[in-house]
Structure 1
Amino acid sequence: MQARRIARELALLSVGQLPSKPQQLQTQQLQDIVLAAIRTLTTEVQDTLETAAAELSRASDRLLNSETRAIDLNSAKAMVTEAVELTQKAINRIGASLELPEFIQLVNQKEVRAYAMEILTQVQANRAKVDQLIDESMVDWQLSRLARVDQDILRIAVTEMWVLGLAPQVAINEAVELGKRYSGDEGHRFINGVLRRVSDRLSGKPVADLSDSSVSGSNSAG
């Protein structure tokens, strides 16, 4: 797993804890935010494994009932089918949870935390202008109307490509991957479309012009 990809995901998990209004954040404040995100991940692992265990227990009950309590073949098949579905859900949850310990270990690397904190710092410092750029790139929609996770994925990607100098295609691809992991079924496609329009605007509009533009019309979500 690449350091910057891990840092980007850590930033996404942390950005929702930033103050709603732009302000200068101290290094210790950012470190506390990142630490809180790591703790959230640890709790998520525990919750996921507990849920998987409960589903496996329910699946076992359904299999037992299919042998002892089914009144006919159809009801037995229904019970077995439900048991298989519960088992599959449990397996999927366990598979997902197995990735998190590695993730938690990697986020403790110095370069990972450093880039995550750089993203958080720049997202916070440039939020009004970034939000304005995203709003200007959306068609018949507003940033504030999106799910919070989609807002944050867009903010991180635009900050990376505009402020941190990441190649637009790389920023877009990474945002789409975050969308597949954290957003809804169609979220990553929407994110891809918005970011491509952002990239087009940036390529046709000097950064100096954007930086000096008014942000009074921004529809930033609190």
Structure 2
Amino acid sequence: MSRKIAREELFKILFEAELNDASIAEVSERVISRGEVELSKNSKDFIEKYVKGIVEKKDEIEETLNSEMTNWSLDRIGNVERALLKFGTYELMFEDMGHEIVVNEIVELAKKYGDEKSHEFINGVLAKIIKK
């Protein structure tokens, strides 16, 4: 399974947690144990590492996002956008991954799952975080 598919599964976990106001760790455990998507060991490790990191860095991620979203706050945006922004912000701030790769993958997920202009909004917010 490619990293791209693992990212999409991680997004779905984050989205479900946002939608149901549930624990990301619990949703992740439930999704992985259901086995609806066959995940390689590397994909499971990737998801588990990112879930743990997003949970541990939640306050810092949310503070960064709220400071970089002009005229918006996390509680005013949709669940898709919130999940993708948390994911992208975590990866930009705490993982050793090229900015272009992160932004491209997150924007592609926004195009697939978000509203018509979601990808533009997300791209703009992530660009501000990169500049910071």
Q: Do the structures match in fold with TM over 0.5?
A: yes
- 5 Å-filtered alignment, 1:33-44, equals 33-36=31-34, 39=36
Does the CA contact (< 8 Å) of 1:3 and 1:111 recur in 2? no
Aligned mate of 2:130, from 184, 199, 214: 199
Q: What are the superposed Cα offsets for residues 47-105 of structure 1, whole Å, 9 maximum, x if unpaired?
A: xxxxxxxxxxxxxxxxxxxxxxxxxxxxxxxxxxxxxxxxxxxxxxxxxxxxxxxxx34
Q: Secondary structure at the match of 1:140?
A: coil
Residue 184 of structure 1: how far off its partner (Å): 0.6
Point out where structure 1 has 5 or more consecutive residues left out of the alignment: 40-103, 202-222
2:29 maps to a residue whose letter is Q
Deviations 1:113-157 (A, max 9, x none): 110111111111111110110111111111211101110001111
Residue identity in the other structure for 2:32: V
Bigger radius of gyration among the two: 1
1:31, distance to aligned residue in structure 2 (A): 3.0
1:12 corresponds in structure 2 to 11
Report SS of the residue matched to 1:114.
Answer: helix
Matches of 2:119 and 2:13 in 1, distance apart?
20
Unaligned runs of 5+ in 2: none
Selected match of 1:160 from 91, 99, 105: 91
| RMSD of aligned alpha carbons | 2.1
Aligned to 1:173: 104
TM-score, normalising length: structure 2? 0.85
**How far apart, CA to CA, are the structure 1 residues paired with 2:108 and 2:7?**
11
Q: Percent identity?
A: 21
**By how many angstroms is 1:3 displaced?**
1.9
**What amino acid is aligned across from residue 59 of structure 2 in structure 1?**
A
Q: Is residue 2:57 matched to residue 1:126?
A: yes
CA contact (8 A) 1:158 1:198 kept: yes
Structure 1 segments (4+ residues) deviating >6 Å: none
Superposition TM-score, scaled by structure 1 size: 0.53
Contact 2:13 2:27 in 1 (8 A): no
Aligned equivalent of 1:143, options 60, 71, 74: 74
Kindly provide the amino acid, as one letter, of the partner of residue 33 in structure 2: L
Distance, in Å, in 1 between the alignment partners of 2:66 and 2:97 is 21
Offset at residue 33 of structure 1 (A): 3.8
- How big is each residue's C-alpha offset from its partner over 1:157-185, in whole Å with a ceiling of 9 and x where there is no partner? 11111111222221111110010111011
Paired residue type of 1:13: K
